[in-house]
Structure 1
Amino acid sequence: MKVLKNPATLIGIAAVAGIAFGLLVGEWAGNLQFIGTMFIRLIQMSIVPLVMASVIVATGSMSGAGMGKMAARTFAWMLGFSAVAAVLAYALSVAIQPGRGMVYTGELDPSLQKSAAASTGWQDTLLSFVSTNIFNAMSTASMIPIIVFSLLFGVALNQYIATSGNRLVLDVADQIQQVVLLMIRFVMYLAPIGVFCLLADLAGDVGFAVVTTALAYLGTTLAGVLILLVIMVAVVWARTGLNPARLPKHLAEQTAIAVTTTSSAVTFPTVLRNTVEKVGVSQRVANFTLAVGLTMGSYGAVLNYMIVVMFLAQAGNVSLTPGQIVLGMGLAILLNMGTITVPGGFPVIAMFLATSLGLPFHAVGLLIAVDWFTGMIRTFLNVNGDTFVAMLVGKATGEVDADVYYGRKSVTADQIDLDAYEGQFAKADAAD
């Protein structure tokens, strides 16, 4: 059957089968743990080269286009909503404790012990962001020093290209990124087997709590998305004065596409058309803000990433320090900004967050198993949040037509060249 060829369907079937098998055979399922661990390590080994190449390519290829007041307003609103999403995710995770019922007592990967060591103060924390030996940081998967080095390298490369016109190093980094992505695609063919073994081991160890914690994780994410949606609508209402009761009708089409496809890229043409033709934002503002929003406006992703951090910490019975919590929020926001986009899908992002904060990743298989559902929730907020930002930016420059919003006037959006957004589509789908 065609549906059985869908990777998400196969992973879902494997997850259910793994949980059932683990509950049935109990502790014996622990014999399958090494297979799941092998799958996780195959993903892990790709993270360092992928993150380095992604950051270098992102910063090395940046241009000075899009500057000015409109860009400043766009970035300010997107960063502001992203920060609110991260804080909200932390608060809900503390209140709901989605990972509490599934305490994993296994040991951390020895390679992560060094990078997970707690600092004695904020000065030491800041010093740990910079490594004296980047190769040592790479060997221990110390992600923050790797990101700092890659950002500096990318900025220097950007300046070098601007003065010399030589793009050889940037092209090499881009090719490395593409090759590592291909490696990850190969590894993901094994995802159903890996997820089956991980969840069989987990269910055999902690029992039915596997199911309840999965529901708690999904419930926390959904609650966060709904609360953040209400906050966004309230801000838009206060700033624009437009009646929010009309928003459901204006956003219904793009919401339906986002939820059913779980893809901001697929939804983008509809979002652009609706923002201009139904909401009344000018074409100029919509083109810029929505294009930027593809890589910076993934508010649902920020919320979900921070919940992942808290879930893994709670499932592993790890107490995060205030510095680690702030760092987790910062990483979630940076991933959203596209500066350190890891375009390998959710499994790579979850492993990146676990590795960066020194968290046990035994429960990552459970998060992978339900990611199709969280993808629906994330994408719903991602695409509608971009429209809200476009409304806020447009109102500041007088480029939201109330007559269009209230249906008293009709306009037609310009045709767009989808090929021009190909790179941004890839990053948006990674966040979804």
Structure 2
Amino acid sequence: MDDKYFIRKILIAIAIGIGVGFFFRDYVFMLDVLGKIFLRSMQMAIPLLVLGQVVQALGSLEKKDLSVLGMRTITVFGISSLLAAYWGILFSLIFQPGKGVAIPQSDLAGVKEQTIDFAETAISFFPQNIMDSLTRGSIIQIIIFAIFLGIALNMFLAKKPNSVILPFLIDFNEIIMNVIRLVMKFAPIGIFSMIAVSVGNLGLDILIPMIKYLLVFAIATLSFLLLWVIIVVIYCKKSFKSIMIGMKSISLVALATTSSAVTLPIALEDTHKKLGVSKRVVDLVLPMGVSLNSNGSAMHMAITVITISQLYGINFNVVSILYIGILATFISLANAVVPGAGLVSLAIIVPQLGLPIESIALFAGVEWFVGMLRTITNVNSDVFSAVVVDKMSKIGVRENI
């Protein structure tokens, strides 16, 4: 399914949903069942999707990826994704895009106040029984197990490189992705239903926070990328002008295509030729970044869940906010390359925080713009990571001399 065609259908569905919700607000309750069926269908394959994607990403790492250079790369990826998540949380707490809309008390049924205990949270990261974690859909426990399983698979394949396990896993993951794609074909119907119900219950005022949300996301994205540039200028001794020239084509392609994979070829060429990063580092860091480094996705999920909590008047304590950043970072490892991937990511993280999953329909209308911001952050962060890793490697070489 073409992504632009998919977004066009979603926008049409939203426009019709707004109209139906506004003019037939006394009858939209009948559409509620369609929206809930769509959401349940989207959630049904998510535990297997997350498990399979993380195991495949780690199991597919080559020996060079696990070298000193590879470990430096993974460290930079982890720190930058975590920073991106907390950067998004910071801006959503400062500007509060979800404030100003009163959700009726009946819509808060089953939504709990978020007061997570630190020790309890740390223990809860680790599964006692993975089958139980899969049954309950405990995503962070599934990801922790997937990391162990992915590393174990990598060790196994190092001894038996001709094993059929990895090809089988790749095929299985593709089948799960097809399940998600099939469900997403019905996204326009499900989102139309949920938007109609939301507008019918809350009025057109519910659309205002979405505009504020998009503006906050844009400001957070631009400032985060500027922070990256400052780091590269100071640590890597690059001039601001050379970075702007080197990143121009990469950024434009990322915005136009909303695809990290499509942008990869030009990123490989420009990072080496225009930014002066060694070919060895470029060929390792950028392809790894497509699957393991998603700063934009981490920021997107973090900003969105805080916005949803503000819409519903739910307060997070400090430990809960720390948990959100870690959760968004882990979930960013499990990217679903399907139309409406941002909605799939939200379907993973929103239920984990006890927030109403129906709320993700509100964000469908800005998904295309969010996709642009998410992609340019993902791609540019990959490039900046390559520049930093290249500098670290040169320092390491000088120290060994």
TM-score w.r.t. the length of structure 1 is 0.82
Higher relative contact order (CA 8 A, sep 6+): 2
Tell me the residue number matched to 1:424. Answer: none
Question: Residue 48 of structure 1 corresponds to which residue in structure 2?
Answer: 47
Who is 1:11 aligned against? 10
* 2:285 aligned with 1:267: no
Query: Aligned letter for 2:263?
Result: T
- Would you say the 8 A contact 1:263–1:379 is kept in 2? yes
- The number of residue pairs the alignment matches comes to 392
The alpha carbon displacement at 1:49 in A equals 2.0
Q: Give how far 1:351 is off.
A: 0.6
CA separation of 1:367/1:388 partners in 2, compared to 1, >3 Å: closer, same or farther?
A: same
CA distance in 1, matches of 2:160, 2:384: 41
Secondary structure of 1:318 counterpart: coil
Q: CA RMSD in A?
A: 2.9
> What's the counterpart of residue 192 of structure 1?
188
Aligned to 1:346: 342
The aligned residue for residue 97 of structure 2 is: 98
Per-residue CA shift, 1:9-41, capped at 9, x if unaligned?
111111122123212333432321211111111
Partner in structure 1 of residue 274 of structure 2? 278
More off after superposition, 293-302 vs 6-15 = 293-302
The 1:164–1:286 alpha-carbon spacing in structure 2 relative to 1, beyond 3 Å, is: closer
- Which residue of 2 is the match for residue 304 of structure 1? 300
Question: 1:388 offset after TM fit, Å?
Answer: 2.0
Which residue, 384, 387, 395 being the options, matches 1:388? Answer: 384
1:304 Cα shift? 0.9
Following the alignment from structure 1 to structure 2, what is the Cα–Cα distance between the partners of residues 150 and 77? 21
1:119 CA drift (Å): 7.4
Do the aligned partners of residues 32 and 308 (structure 1) sit closer, same or farther apart at CA in structure 2, a change above 3 Å counting? Answer: same
Could you tell me which amino acid in structure 2 is paired with residue 333 of structure 1? T
Any idea what SS the aligned residue of 1:362 has?
helix
Shift of 1:90: 0.8
Asked if the contact 1:141/1:355 (under 8 Å) is kept, the reply is no
Distance in 1, Cα, partners of 2:159 & 2:2: 52
Q: Please report how far the alpha carbon of residue 374 of structure 1 lies from its aligned counterpart in structure 2 after TM superposition.
A: 0.5
Superposed displacement of residue 314, structure 1 = 2.0
- Counterpart residue number, 1:79: 78
Asked if residue 128 in structure 1 is aligned to residue 124 in structure 2, the reply is yes
- For 1:162-206, what per-residue CA distance to the aligned partner results, in whole angstroms no more than 9, with x for missing partners? 456684554444333222211111111111111111111111112
Query: In structure 2, do the counterparts of structure 1 residues 120 and 180 end up closer, same or farther at CA, with 3 Å as the change threshold?
Result: closer
Shift, 1:280, TM fit: 2.0
Query: Deviation per CA, 1:244-287, whole angstroms, max 9, x where unpaired?
Result: 03433332222221111111111111111111222222222222
Give 2:329's aligned amino acid: I
Q: 1:107 to 1:175 in 2, by over 3 A?
A: farther
Q: Distance in 2 between matches of 1:120 and 1:82?
A: 22
CA distance in 2, matches of 1:153, 1:278: 39
Report if aligned partners of 1:324, 1:357 keep a CA contact under 8 Å in 2.
Answer: no
* Paired amino acid for 2:252: A
Paired amino acid for 2:132: N
Contact 1:3-1:9 within 8 A present in 2 as well: no
Q: 1:89 to 1:66 in 2, by over 3 A?
A: same
**Using the alignment, how far apart are the partners of 2:30 and 2:89 within structure 1?**
35
Question: Following the alignment from structure 2 to structure 1, what is the Cα–Cα distance between the partners of residues 56 and 86?
Answer: 29
- Indicate the residue corresponding to 2:139 in structure 1: 143
For 1:101, what is the secondary structure of its paired residue? coil
Q: Tell me if 1:229 matches 2:212.
A: no
1:342 deviates by 4.0
Residues 1:35 and 2:31 are matched in the alignment: no
Using a 3 Å threshold, how does the CA distance of structure 1 residues 357 and 204 change in structure 2: closer, same or farther? same
Q: CA deviation at 1:395?
A: 3.1
Inter-CA distance 108–38: structure 2 relative to 1 (3 Å threshold): farther
Report the AA paired with residue 314 of structure 1: Q
**What's 2:399 paired with?**
none
* Cα gap change, 1:138 to 1:396, in 2 (>3 Å): closer
Provide the C-alpha distance between the structure 2 equivalents of 1:129 and 1:49, rounded to a whole number of angstroms.
18
Question: What is the correspondence of 1:200-349 to structure 2 with a 5 Å cutoff?
Answer: 200-336=196-332, 338=333, 340-344=334-338, 345-349=341-345
- Structure-2 change in CA distance of 1:161 and 1:78 (3 Å): closer
Question: What's the counterpart of residue 64 of structure 2?
Answer: 65
| Offset at residue 117 of structure 1 (A) | 9.1
In 2, Cα distance between the equivalents of 1:149 and 1:89? Answer: 27
What runs of 5+ residues in structure 2 fail to find an aligned partner? 396-401
> Which amino acid is the alignment partner of residue 199 of structure 2?
A
User: Normalised by the size of structure 2, how large is the TM-score?
Assistant: 0.87
Which letter maps to 1:190?
A: F
List runs of 5+ in structure 1 lacking aligned partners.
Answer: 400-432
Q: In the alignment, residue 286 of structure 1 is paired with which amino acid?
A: V
Identity %: 29
